[in-house]
Amino acid sequence: MPAGIHIKNLTFSYAPDKPVLNNVSLDINPGEKLGIIGPSGAGKSTLLLHLNGILTGSGVVRIGETVVGKKSLSEIRRKVGLVFQNPDDQLFNPTVEEDIAFGPLNFGLSIEETDRKVQDTLRAMNLEGFEKYESHHLSMGERKRVALATVLAINPEVIAFDEPFSSLDPAMVLQLITLINGLEATLVIVSQSILPLISCCERIAVINKGELVAVGPRDEIIKDRELMRSSGMDLSFYTKICREYFTE
């Protein structure tokens, strides 16, 4: 079983006296796929950055039995893969192939195993043929897919996806949903693309102004119109568009 995640009373500020996360407590079960939604600026990315120790606030974050902190950083980085919201924060090697190979080589895989991982993840992300391309020359959607590939290549126990569906075309969104649904890792997915998120996550947490305002089964959360509206997540305009254009 992959590790679960335990977050207890997490509070964090970038600037003094302006908490961006306020006393957040949340448990994510081993192998669960948890979605996190909330308006822009709510603190979702900030929360994800605590899962692999890029940020450390007050309170406790545990991955399995390991408390995230300075001493455990190398163990945590092995266990937790984070796909950044902005792919340019993820990609730093000259070519796509080197960016994807970096993690597996660093974690001790042989050249042959690494090559296989690179090919497998390139295929999964529809990036065959992009091996020698320079990452910074790629389109945003292509860079996003390379960023996803760099994390999938290391097969982490826990994966935190920050806006994985952004900039992807609809066919790729569907391919990624299928891939995510087949993963056995513990997943935390932050996304403003609520429809794909609903397709992946059994349980959904809502964050608003740095506070966890609700967490529960997706049916309960998404159908709670008042909760969705008060969290800036009113989706009712989609219903009208779908009825007009997508009914059989």
Ligand X SMILES: Nc1ncnc2c1ncn2[C@@H]1O[C@H](COP(=O)(O)OP(=O)(O)OP(=O)(O)O)[C@@H](O)[C@H]1O
Complete DSSP assignment for the chain? ----EEEEEEEEESSTT-EEEEEEEEEE-TT-EEEEE--TTSSHHHHHHTTTTSS--EEEEEETTEEPSGGGHHHHHHHEEEE-SSGGGT--SSSHHHHHHHHHHHTT--HHHHHHHHHHHHHHTT-TT-TTS-GGGS-HHHHHHHHHHHHHTT--SEEEEESTTTT--HHHHHHHHHHHHH--SEEEEE-S-HHHHHHH-SEEEEEETTEEEEEEEHHHHHH-HHHHHHTT---HHHHHHHHHHH--
Contacts of 16 (CB under 8 A, 6+ apart): none
What's the closest the beta carbon of residue 143 comes to ligand X, in angstroms? 17
Q: Within positions 69 to 88, which residues make up the interface with Mg ion, using CB under 5 A? A: 85
Residues forming beta bridges with residue 80, ordered by sequence position? 158
What's the closest the beta carbon of residue 42 comes to Mg ion, in angstroms? 8
Applying CB under 5 A, the span of 6-14, 42-50, 98-106, 221-229 interacting with Mg ion comes to 42-50
Residue 45 interacts with Mg ion (CB under 5 A): yes or no: yes
> Which of ligand X, Mg ion, none sits in contact with 217, Cβ below 5 to 8 A by type?
none
> Which of Mg ion, ligand X, none sits in contact with 117, Cβ below 5 to 8 A by type?
none
> Which of ligand X, Mg ion, none sits in contact with 43, Cβ below 5 to 8 A by type?
ligand X
> Which of ligand X, Mg ion, none sits in contact with 42, Cβ below 5 to 8 A by type?
ligand X
Quickly count: other Cβ atoms within 10 Å of residue 55's Cβ: 19
What's the closest the beta carbon of residue 167 comes to ligand X, in angstroms? 13
Residue 208 interacts with Mg ion (CB under 5 A): yes or no: no
Q: Which residue number, 45 or 150, has a Cβ lying nearer to Mg ion?
A: 45
What's the closest the beta carbon of residue 201 comes to Mg ion, in angstroms? 17
> Which of Mg ion, ligand X, none sits in contact with 52, Cβ below 5 to 8 A by type?
none
Which residues of this protein are in contact with ligand X, per CB under 6 A?
Answer: 14, 20, 38, 40-46, 85, 192
What's the closest the beta carbon of residue 43 comes to ligand X, in angstroms? 4
Q: Which residue number, 38 or 64, has a Cβ lying nearer to ligand X?
A: 38
Positions that interact with Mg ion (CB under 5 A):
44-45, 85
